[in-house]
Structure 1
Amino acid sequence: MSVEITEGVTLMPPPFADGLNVWSSGDGTPGSDTYASAANAAFVPADQDFSGCLEVQKTASTQKIRYMGETPLLPGVYLRVTARVKAISGNLPSVRIAGWAGAAGGGHVSGVEETGPSTTLSQYGEVVEVSAIVGVGNRTGVDMVWGAEPIYGHFGIDLTGQTGGVVRVDDIVIEDVTNVFLRTMMGTIDVRDYGAIGDGITDDRAAFEAADAAAAGRTVIVSDGEYYLGDDMTFESEVQFEGTVTMPVDAIFVLRRNFHLPAYIDAFGDEELAFKKAFQALLDNADHESLDMGGRIVNLTGPIDMQAAVANRTTYATRRVIANGQFSAEDTPAWDEDVVTSQASYSASNNKVLSGVENAANIPVGALVEGNGVGREVYVRAVNVGAQQITLSDELYDAEGTQTFTFRRFKYMLDFSGFADLDKMTIRDVEFNCRGRASGVMLATAGLIFQVRDCYFTKPKDRGLTSPGEGSQGLLVDRCQFLSNEGDDVATSRTSIALNVNANDAKIRNNRATRFRHFAVISGSGAIVTGNHFFQGDNVDGGARTAGIVLGKTSLRVIFNSNYVDNCFLEWTNELDSDPDQSSEFSFSQLNITDNTFYCTHAASWFSFIVVKPLGTGHFLNGMVVQGNTFRAVGVVLDRVDRVDTSFADLDWGRTKNVTFSDNMFNNITTAVSNPLVKTHVEASTAQSWIVDCAPNLPFGGWARNVESVQAIGAIRTDANVSSHQMPYVKLEEGSNNDQVELVWDRPVRGEVMIRVRMDTPI
């Protein structure tokens, strides 16, 4: 594009036919001599080669012809000056383009090249064209490099050599040739220059590839238009989008130099589609391990099926990261849950399968299973329509036989459940703004080490983070905020759950959760739950509270450490076990609850912070540590901090082993508990048998099964007030509730003793 068009600048000198008074025989500066009345010059109106020309007899060693107008020289603009001449008679001169560099104020800029290449005229009547390019920059092809100081020039030609010759000169041409240099001087190239049409129909992929290949480190401009690409496209160059692209769903679009979501949004013009294509490229390209959302908010009109976005893959095992942005749920019916009811049969012998499932084709993977004898957070992991079978994420505790089940499929903003196996996926610094319409993230049905870090799950309608299978193996949830949509509801009427875990080795650390029904439902073993603050209270004075953490199986190997448990409790049950009665299992074992803060306000007095709920007979505590915790109630005095929920069955207290319940602090708790329990007993009257009542201070109302020591405090005396130095023997599990110890002396005595009693057997 010429500056004559873009800037309205006049470059072309007038033709000689308009008069010779603007053509100088000097430098072209004001006041210099012109050819208007010169004896050695005349205008020739007709010539066989030129329509009109100037005829000049050379009378000086350097015969100058200069246009007296000021031709502007703009930064970044390159001008070509062209002249056509021929010798008529006499000595044959040389000819060259020449100019005079003018500065602001009319002064001359010295020290710049003011002449172009010289050409010698070799015969009469031969038309010879000479040209030179003048401009600011020292670029290849520029003959007169003037730099930034000159702002205009007086341009024309010089005739050099012997005098006496006669030449004719055609009209001098000055033109903008900046476009000649654009391909090498500017940092961009346009796909349209390589044949792209941009009509949304023609396949422009070849043109895109050609532009990318020619860019050589420069930026490719996708100018305004809609460009259809019929197959995969990878840009090695940085790309700037003014127009948009469309392509088949399975075609991969890779931006290697600017691989981030804002670039994909510019490319596709649609946030949802852009995220899908960027995620597709993330998994199908080895050049990038992270998709930076660039702080963008992606408004979702419905769930994103993450596997469908990468349709060529059902498994993936290379570390990938989605980071730094927000997803926000639009108000559309696409978020409405799907509900299917179907009759099916369950057998404990095939404990993760429903068989004979009617209407199996309509039951989606990832649906929550509800029915009699179904524990919390049991999901459909797989569906075999031909066999009429459903594979479950976990076992059912009391569903033997045939019944009608309800399958409830929540809608998740990012749904990974289509992947059969997904390893090492990380989401960090992302907010899932569910807005009470959507759930957050559903994991794959299998996989290792899914990490969610520094994320917000804001107002999920049903769930924050869901595992429908064993995709939570090694799950890492760190420093996340789970903000409930049910904060104003009574605790017991809430239905939303922040997260669940089905597989082993989860790490749930330093999170904060507000007023869900449950913070976490954990089935797998080996979990570490540490540094979290979850609170679930309401404004009901004396109201009931719900479990913050639900441990769904007996032998867990769980560490629960340094958490702030606020107006909720830890519930340990076996509802995710198809054999709820104790058989050859370890029973309720390997749970460490240490250094936590348990706190409640205005709860019911019977509320307890640690609840064990066996769903079958014969269970017992077999390895449990509750140590270094603070238990505090405000606005209520709690009966005790520990409780067994006997709705289904009680524990077998005769088998309790390896329980430590010590070094805890109790505030506004009526009954402090400890194991071992240290009690002081005073027998005021002489008696041979002393009964030491350990109730209600043994944890969970356990039995007095062992005495570690009996220590006399002061003298033990007979009726005669004589000191007795005998030691008693003990009888355990005395009384109707087996919570008393009997000290038997060899004679009646009185006095005070300190006794150390345990509710469990020695190791």
Structure 2
Amino acid sequence: MRKGIWMNKAITDGVVFMPPAFEAGLEMWSSGDGTPGSPSYAESATAAFVPADQDFGGALELVKAENVQKLRYMGETPLLPGCYLQVRARVKALGGALPGVRIAAWPGGAGGVPLPGLPQTGPQVSLTAYGEVVEISAIIGPGSRTGVDLVWGRSALYAHIGLDLTGPNGGIVRIDDIEIEDVTSVFLRDMLSVVDVRDYGAVGDGTSDDSAAFEAADADARGREVLVPAGIYRLAESVTFQSRVQFEGRVEMPDDKILALTKNFDLPSYIDAFGDDEELAFKKAFQALLNNAGHESLDLGGRLLGIRAPIDMQAAVANRTFFNQRRVIRNGQFSVFSGPAWDTEVVTSQARYAPADPKRLTNVQNVASIPVGALIEGNGVGREVYVRARNIAAQTLEISAPLYDADGVQVFTFRRFKYILDFSGFDDLGRMTLSDIEFQCSGECSAILLPPQGSGFALRDCFITRPKDRGISSHGEGCQGMLIDRCQFLSNESPLASLERQSIGLNTNANDVKLRNNRAVHFRHFAVIGGSSSIILGNHWFQGDTLQNSPRLAGLVLTRTNNRGTVTGNYVDNSFIEWGNEHDQAPEFSSEFSFSQLTVSGNTFLASQVPPWFSYLVIKPYGAGHFLNGLTVTGNSFRIIGTPVDRVESVDTSFASLDYNRFANVTFRDNMFNNVNSPSASPVTLEHTEASASQAWVVAADAKLPFNAWAQVVEAVTAAGPLRRADGSIYYGAPYYQAKQGPNSDQVTLRWETPVQGTAMVTVRIDDPF
């Protein structure tokens, strides 16, 4: 307590501890336990009141006639929670055998029942001389504190207090009035108002269950701080503190029991509670976060947590596999200690894949050895396909995305990366936010594995630093509606050439992902986006190296054809955007929207020292028959430093080309080009001059159409000055056009009613806009 605040209970609360003086009569003093019905000294031949003893004034004179001669006050002395009482008496021998003497007391519980097993006697003192005044004392209290003689815990509610004479019989003694004093202040701190758990029965020996004592101390705190002093306190049950807690000792408890610190809910407090075991403290704090409605966020307190193994986040909260309320973990740093716990598990196994069952592998050999969350590699497997779940009895694996060309039986490789925070054990976890946290992977491990299901996962103002394999992995649809804002992804592979890098910043499978204002450095890919309706806004990713004319890899990989995505205001540095359909179980076109509804606008594209065939926007169909059915590329800046490139857009025909005849709703205009040999646009306006009168004008796009696509539509023909017949007269008529002319279908023919010559502005499109 604060100095000056704690006072004696007799003063502050009017509690009467002191028994009456002997001169008030001996009927309140018993030769038994002091309980109702026990014999009193009022009519005893062995006891008398002496009114004028030279040392004591009034005194009780006793003749010791029993082996243990008891003296007990028959009134009930109250024992209050957290209260310590000192019992004192002065005694002297007058004659006969010299006895021993000790303070003694009988503990009573609720309903007046005796409490067995509790100590009832204090230290014994032997009388060694006649007439010598000897003082005896003992302290009674609830907690095992230094100086407490009779430790009674919380169950004792009152006492019958007195003393015992022991040793040989026949001696005569005189006893001064017995005094009882509240000495609780002796056991309290001078500086703080605290409630000590030992005062409520906590033992702190690492064996006794102190759960009830912790709860009792908290219940009695009433605004004061609870102190857990030095010791090891075993809590066999869950404990919730509604008061602030200060830990000097440490707590041990089963994994499934919860320690909820509602008034100081932060990681430093849990570290104090669990004896500086940071990893365990974080797990228990996260467990409380998902089991206590009183807090929506866990403050890591700016601590750097050293982690020796992946943290299974669901195992830390064993009572929950489903949670969908907003929770935040913020303000700290995870670092890892190197060791075998971070080693990637690699398993090979034969399995069958059938496109008719696109997200399942069947007849999987040794399926029990394949971990959930493992990356799948094999022929016809796209990037970032993971094991979502397994059924050992059925020998099947659920996978995160279809395979584009893996029909039949083959041997697959499964790589299970290790993550600092692994949420894969949850069935469904939504609205989880990580804020202002750095994940220092140190090239040893990956950072975050998302849950297989859940929406609204958010990462903001975080650093993912030097991940070995992945920054954030989604092995299911726990990325639905994911928000990643103002984060930095810093690769461990910066010294390597672009083509040698293997790490990936993040991947997604579900829809509605937002990546905004992030920065990613030197990954193989910044993001592999498998869902639709994504917003990629204001990011800067760069993937260059120091080699001359070195190939570059995609920074952003889009694997959904009907994309419905927006890529706006990004800085695309020494990389490109790749749009393909590698997560399509039927990669050939089959009555679908095909490559549609993607907007790429207002971005800055920059690359240096790249080969001339490098492109910033690459369409990669994994099967035949696909086409562009909704693409807007506007307001971008395309710049090359060094040798110019041929063009900024291309089609990767490694598997198939596009059906240029079916292009629709494509706008590619108002972009800026520097050091690009063939700037492109659609619609594009071509200036054509016919020097001599001709009835058929052949207008060539000369590589100005995006993707070297076909000239499908002429939007407008406008004469630039008068058109003249062969005789020099002005012609006022209009032509019709024939599209897709020439060997590359990139020409149009204007056919006039009569041969004419002159100049016309011809606007051509690669698509049918209607």
Q: Is the structural similarity TM-score above 0.5?
A: yes
Answering whether residue 737 of structure 2 is matched by residue 730 of structure 1, we say: yes
Alignment partner, residue 316 of structure 1: 323
Structure 1 residue 331: deviation in Å? 1.1
Q: Secondary structure at the match of 2:398?
A: strand
**Within 1, Cα distance between the matches of 2:89 and 2:337?**
68
Post-superposition Cα deviations, 1:330-365, rounded to whole Å, max 9, x if no partner, equal 111111110110000000000000000001001111
Q: Is the 8 A contact 2:385 2:401 kept in 1?
A: yes
Structure 1 residue 722: deviation in Å? 2.6
Supply the AA of the counterpart residue of 1:736: P
Alignment partner, residue 225 of structure 1: 231
Post-superposition Cα deviations, 1:660-712, rounded to whole Å, max 9, x if no partner, equal 00110001111110000101011122222111111311110110100011111
Q: Secondary structure at the match of 2:198?
A: helix
Post-superposition Cα deviations, 1:54-110, rounded to whole Å, max 9, x if no partner, equal xxxxxxxxxxxxxxxxxxxxxxxxxx9x999xxxxxxxxxxxxxxxxxxxxxxxxxx
Q: Is the 8 A contact 2:666 2:769 kept in 1?
A: no
Supply the AA of the counterpart residue of 2:53: D
Which of 24, 40, 49 in structure 1 is aligned with 2:53?
49
**Within 2, Cα distance between the matches of 1:747 and 1:374?**
59
Q: Is the 8 A contact 1:339 1:406 kept in 2?
A: yes
Answering whether residue 335 of structure 2 is matched by residue 328 of structure 1, we say: yes
**Within 1, Cα distance between the matches of 2:526 and 2:293?**
37
Which of 587, 607, 616 in structure 2 is aligned with 1:580?
587
Structure 1 residue 375: deviation in Å? 0.3
Alignment partner, residue 721 of structure 1: 728
Alignment of 1:601-620 (within 5 A): 601-620=608-627
Q: Is the 8 A contact 1:439 1:462 kept in 2?
A: yes
**Within 2, Cα distance between the matches of 1:49 and 1:208?**
49
Alignment of 1:401-420 (within 5 A): 401-420=408-427
Which of 275, 289, 298 in structure 2 is aligned with 1:291?
298
Structure 1 residue 285: deviation in Å? 1.1
Identity of aligned residues (%): 58
Alignment partner, residue 526 of structure 2: 519
Answering whether residue 681 of structure 2 is matched by residue 656 of structure 1, we say: no
Q: Secondary structure at the match of 2:698?
A: strand
Post-superposition Cα deviations, 1:235-263, rounded to whole Å, max 9, x if no partner, equal 11110011100000101111111110000
Q: Is the 8 A contact 1:196 1:208 kept in 2?
A: yes
Answering whether residue 600 of structure 2 is matched by residue 596 of structure 1, we say: no
Structure 1 residue 757: deviation in Å? 0.4
Alignment partner, residue 747 of structure 1: 754
Which is greater in Rg? 1
Q: Secondary structure at the match of 2:694?
A: strand
Alignment of 1:31-42 (within 5 A): none
When residues 246 and 741 of structure 1 are mapped into structure 2, their CA distance, relative to the original with a 3 A threshold, is same
When residues 249 and 493 of structure 1 are mapped into structure 2, their CA distance, relative to the original with a 3 A threshold, is same
When residues 613 and 230 of structure 1 are mapped into structure 2, their CA distance, relative to the original with a 3 A threshold, is same
Alignment partner, residue 644 of structure 2: 637
**Within 1, Cα distance between the matches of 2:195 and 2:687?**
91
Structure 1 residue 747: deviation in Å? 2.6
**Within 2, Cα distance between the matches of 1:720 and 1:698?**
36
Alignment partner, residue 253 of structure 2: 247
Alignment partner, residue 71 of structure 2: none
Alignment partner, residue 191 of structure 1: 197
Structure 1 residue 186: deviation in Å? 5.0
Q: Is the 8 A contact 1:695 1:701 kept in 2?
A: no
Structure 1 residue 721: deviation in Å? 2.6
Structure 1 residue 214: deviation in Å? 2.0
Answering whether residue 635 of structure 2 is matched by residue 628 of structure 1, we say: yes
Q: Secondary structure at the match of 2:646?
A: strand
Q: Secondary structure at the match of 1:606?
A: coil
**Within 2, Cα distance between the matches of 1:760 and 1:275?**
57
Q: Is the 8 A contact 1:183 1:189 kept in 2?
A: no
Alignment coverage as a number of residue pairs: 604
When residues 176 and 278 of structure 1 are mapped into structure 2, their CA distance, relative to the original with a 3 A threshold, is closer
Alignment partner, residue 687 of structure 1: 694
Q: Is the 8 A contact 1:710 1:756 kept in 2?
A: yes
Structure 1 residue 487: deviation in Å? 0.8
Which of 262, 271, 274 in structure 2 is aligned with 1:268?
274
Supply the AA of the counterpart residue of 1:410: F
Extract unaligned runs of 5+ from structure 1: 4-46, 54-79, 85-169
Structure 1 residue 49: deviation in Å? 3.0
Answering whether residue 485 of structure 2 is matched by residue 481 of structure 1, we say: no
Alignment partner, residue 555 of structure 1: 562
Alignment partner, residue 215 of structure 1: 221
Q: Secondary structure at the match of 2:215?
A: helix
Which consecutive aligned stretches of 4+ in structure 1 deviate over 4 angstroms post-superposition? 50-53, 175-178, 180-186
Q: Secondary structure at the match of 1:361?
A: helix
Alignment partner, residue 185 of structure 2: 179
**Within 2, Cα distance between the matches of 1:194 and 1:407?**
55
Alignment partner, residue 58 of structure 1: none
**Within 2, Cα distance between the matches of 1:241 and 1:375?**
52
Q: Secondary structure at the match of 2:677?
A: strand
Alignment partner, residue 429 of structure 2: 422
Supply the AA of the counterpart residue of 2:699: V
Answering whether residue 678 of structure 2 is matched by residue 671 of structure 1, we say: yes
Supply the AA of the counterpart residue of 1:320: R
Alignment partner, residue 82 of structure 2: none
**Within 2, Cα distance between the matches of 1:376 and 1:360?**
22
Q: TM-score, normalised by structure 2?
A: 0.76
Answering whether residue 403 of structure 2 is matched by residue 388 of structure 1, we say: no
When residues 475 and 83 of structure 1 are mapped into structure 2, their CA distance, relative to the original with a 3 A threshold, is closer
Supply the AA of the counterpart residue of 1:520: A
Q: Is the 8 A contact 2:640 2:674 kept in 1?
A: yes
Structure 1 residue 177: deviation in Å? 6.1
Q: Is the 8 A contact 1:436 1:485 kept in 2?
A: yes
**Within 1, Cα distance between the matches of 2:315 and 2:441?**
21
Alignment partner, residue 347 of structure 2: 340
**Within 1, Cα distance between the matches of 2:621 and 2:434?**
37
Alignment partner, residue 490 of structure 1: 497
**Within 1, Cα distance between the matches of 2:607 and 2:460?**
28
Supply the AA of the counterpart residue of 1:435: S
Answering whether residue 578 of structure 2 is matched by residue 571 of structure 1, we say: yes
Supply the AA of the counterpart residue of 2:737: V
Supply the AA of the counterpart residue of 1:346: Y
Extract unaligned runs of 5+ from structure 2: 4-50, 58-85, 91-175
**Within 2, Cα distance between the matches of 1:553 and 1:248?**
46
Structure 1 residue 745: deviation in Å? 1.9
Which of 537, 541, 553 in structure 2 is aligned with 1:534?
541
Q: Is the 8 A contact 2:388 2:475 kept in 1?
A: yes
Supply the AA of the counterpart residue of 1:239: V
Alignment of 1:427-446 (within 5 A): 427-446=434-453
**Within 1, Cα distance between the matches of 2:280 and 2:539?**
36
Q: Which moved more, 1:490-499 or 1:722-731?
A: 722-731
**Within 2, Cα distance between the matches of 1:247 and 1:181?**
27
